[in-house]
Amino acid sequence: MKKIILLAAVVLAAAACGTGEITKVSGSFPADATETQVQIVAGELDKTIDLQDGKFSIEIPTDVASVAYAVSDGRQVQFVADGSKIDINFEDGVAVSSSKKGVHSRFMAYQEWNDKFMTDFRAKMSAEGLSEEDKEGIYEAAEKEYNAYLEKTIKANPDNILGLIAISNIELEDDEEMLSLIDGLSEELRENPRVKAMRKAIDASSKTAEGMMFTDFEVDGVKFSDFIGKGKYVLVDFWASWCGPCRREMPNLRAVYDKFHGDKFDMLSVAVWDKLDDTIQAAKEENIVWDQIMNAQRIPTELYGIQGIPHIILFGPDGTILKRNLRGDAIASAVAEALAE
């Protein structure tokens, strides 16, 4: 799962505004501040306000489906125009709402939870003396906690930015469960480009589910079918150089290759979402000696509905998809079981 590693504070814009209500945004600067203007960016609104005695105030349309910004002298403060009174404090870099239960307050609580979660996660992962097995256990526990929190957030916020952020970062193996969460969103959020892309990916995943025949693609003159459906079981690793979980799976993959490579089994790495030079360097560092397709970018991930990496798939000799989303010890188990048949 890449989201734990990458997410700090994801901000997405939705096409729709709120109910047409007005949100009053105001703030002040210290007496010795030299700033003379504040820029407010909210949806299609981009307005610069002159300060009066170090203070400003503006009324903007309410829009709970996106994040707005107050910017001054390079400093940026996020807020949600949820119909409450928003007070911007540039000195502390925060925005405070008059409503403790409003969307803005919930957005700030989410940011606070996420920051603490990430800090705790990094601290656990960087502790001395951890084995790779220890790290994998920490990661799996964090992933479970993270997804549970996101699912709770989605269900509690189906019509605002929090639901949009959470649905964009949750990672569930069950496509039906994922579709259920998407269908529970408001019509406006379901029309968000990111959410529509997720539904498209799920549709693609259903067409390339276990038991289905592989879907071919081509990258720089190299076809997937050059390796798949040629009479061997093939384990395919979709990965990227920057992906920590991808790199942590490499010892498992090398062990599987060393043990099973032969007339009946082979492996293939497909580099996605990555810079070619970075892929080449990482492949050398990880001692990838099996076949590779580089610079694939989004071509295969869109075809196979892959939303997070690493994504490891086992294909049968005829190209049938036998197992998807293999991780850890399950990789070797799936290969051994297939070869024993």
What ranges do the domains of the chain cover? 22-98, 106-207, 218-340
pLDDT digits (tens, 9 = 90+) for 201-231: 889 988 999 999 999 999 999 999 999 999 9
| pLDDT at residue 4, as a whole number | 40
Q: What is the b/e burial string over 20-54, where b = at least 16 CB atoms within 10 angstroms of the residue's CB?
A: eeebebebbbeeeeeeeebebbbbeeeeebebeee
Strand ranges (E), 142-242: 218-219, 222-223, 233-239
- How far is 157 from 154, CA to CA, in rounded Å? 5
Give every residue of the chain whose pLDDT is below 50, as ranges: 1-20
| pLDDT at residue 335, as a whole number | 98
| pLDDT at residue 17, as a whole number | 39
Q: Which CATH fold topology does 22-98 show?
A: Immunoglobulin-like (2.60.40)
Q: What is the CATH number of domain 218-340?
A: 3.40.30.10
| pLDDT at residue 35, as a whole number | 83
